[in-house]
């Protein structure tokens, strides 16, 4: 994990052939997102029909456009949406992607109970090119017992899978789970979440998608 110094926004980058940026969510944004979700969870639209997760509680906070599976809606204040847009834009700028157009597509929350999981998958929005993300909103201190390897736990883990291979390359990344962490990565980066084993615990995360129309040819030249 290498720290980048050419930005006013603190972040770090993990390279797996593609780049993952790690940001710390400002406390006011973090509290607002948790607060809105907890206050409105019973009335938020279900996102189950458009997600692959084996998770009962998947709820949408924002959907920018009417689709057959989801109506257009927004439960978030403008300053929160602006923070997502500026953070995604920061990722593109520091990695020198020539941007044509950006579109914040969707934001939703996953609440994982024991034995629920998210299989390996990628994301897409209205475009096949874009940025996705995972934000840690509520991480239980106790994920329950590990079935075999207590010295190498995977319960409740997020795993991101790169597109490079061979000797001396880093092919995957399983970050330590810390509240307020926000990981940004390309739509087509495969990732998954393993089940936890604590029946009294909830693992809450948020995901957001932004469509990115960029000049792929020029991007190879910078």
For the record, the structure tokens of 64 come out as: 């920018």
> Which tokens in the block code for residue 173?
């990344």
CA gap 178, 35 in Å, rounded: 18
Task: State pTM to two decimals.
Answer: 0.91
pLDDT tens-digit profile of 167-178? 778 889 999 999
Report residues of the chain scoring pLDDT below 50: 1-6, 221-222
Rounded Cα–Cα distance for residues 220 and 213 (Å): 15
- Mean pLDDT of all residues in the chain? 90
Residue 1 lies in a domain: no
- Residue identified by tokens 């409105």 is 40
Q: Report how far apart, in Å, the C-alpha atoms of 217 and of each of 97, 102, 148, 190, 220 are.
A: 10, 18, 48, 24, 5
Q: Does residue 3 belong to any structural domain of this protein?
A: no
Q: Which two tokens stand for residue 213?
A: 């129309």
The closest alpha carbon to 156, from 180, 175, 129, 169, belongs to 175
Q: Could you tell me the end-to-end alpha-carbon distance of the chain, in angstroms, rounded to an integer?
A: 22
In a domain, 204, yes or no: yes
In a domain, 147, yes or no: yes
| pLDDT on residue 164 | 77
Burial category of 125 from C-beta neighbours within 10 Å (exposed 0-12, middle 13-18, buried 19 and up): buried
pLDDT at position 152 is: 67
On whether the CB atoms of residues 213 and 100 are closer than 8 A, the answer is: yes
What SS3 class is residue 80?
helix
Tens digit of pLDDT for each residue in 129-159?
A: 999 999 999 999 999 988 777 766 788 999 9
Residue 206 lies in a domain: yes
2 falls within a domain: no
What is the structure's pLDDT at 167? 78
| Count of structural domains within the chain | 1
CA atoms within 13 A on the CB side of 30: 16
The CATH number linked to 159 is 2.60.120.620
The domain in which residue 124 lies consists of 8-219
Paired tokens of 110: 């996953």
Calpha distance 123→118 (Å, rounded): 12
- Does 137 fall in a domain? yes
């Amino acid at each position: 994990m290498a720290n980048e110094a050419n930005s006013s926004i603190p972040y770090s980058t993990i390279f797996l052939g593609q780049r993952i940026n790690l940001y710390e969510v400002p406390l006011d944004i973090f509290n607002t997102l948790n607060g809105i979700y907890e206050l409105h969870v019973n009335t938020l639209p279900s996102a189950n029909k458009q997600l692959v997760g084996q998770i009962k509680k998947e709820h949408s906070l924002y959907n920018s456009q009417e689709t057959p599976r989801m109506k257009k809606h927004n439960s978030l204040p403008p300053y929160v949406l602006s923070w997502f847009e500026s953070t995604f834009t920061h990722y593109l700028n520091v990695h020198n992607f020539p941007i044509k157009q950006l579109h914040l597509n969707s934001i939703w929350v996953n609440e994982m109970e024991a034995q629920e999981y998210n299989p390996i998958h990628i994301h897409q929005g209205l475009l096949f090119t874009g940025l996705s993300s995972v934000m840690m909103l509520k991480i239980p201190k106790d994920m329950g017992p590990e079935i075999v390897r207590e010295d190498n736990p995977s319960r409740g883990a997020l795993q991101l899978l790169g597109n490079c291979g061979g000797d001396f390359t880093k092919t995957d990344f399983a970050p330590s789970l810390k509240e307020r962490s926000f990981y940004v990565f390309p739509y087509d980066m495969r990732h998954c979440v393993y089940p936890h084993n604590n029946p009294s615990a909830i693992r809450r995360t948020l995901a957001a998608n932004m469509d990115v129309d960029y000049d792929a040819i020029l991007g190879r030249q910078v």
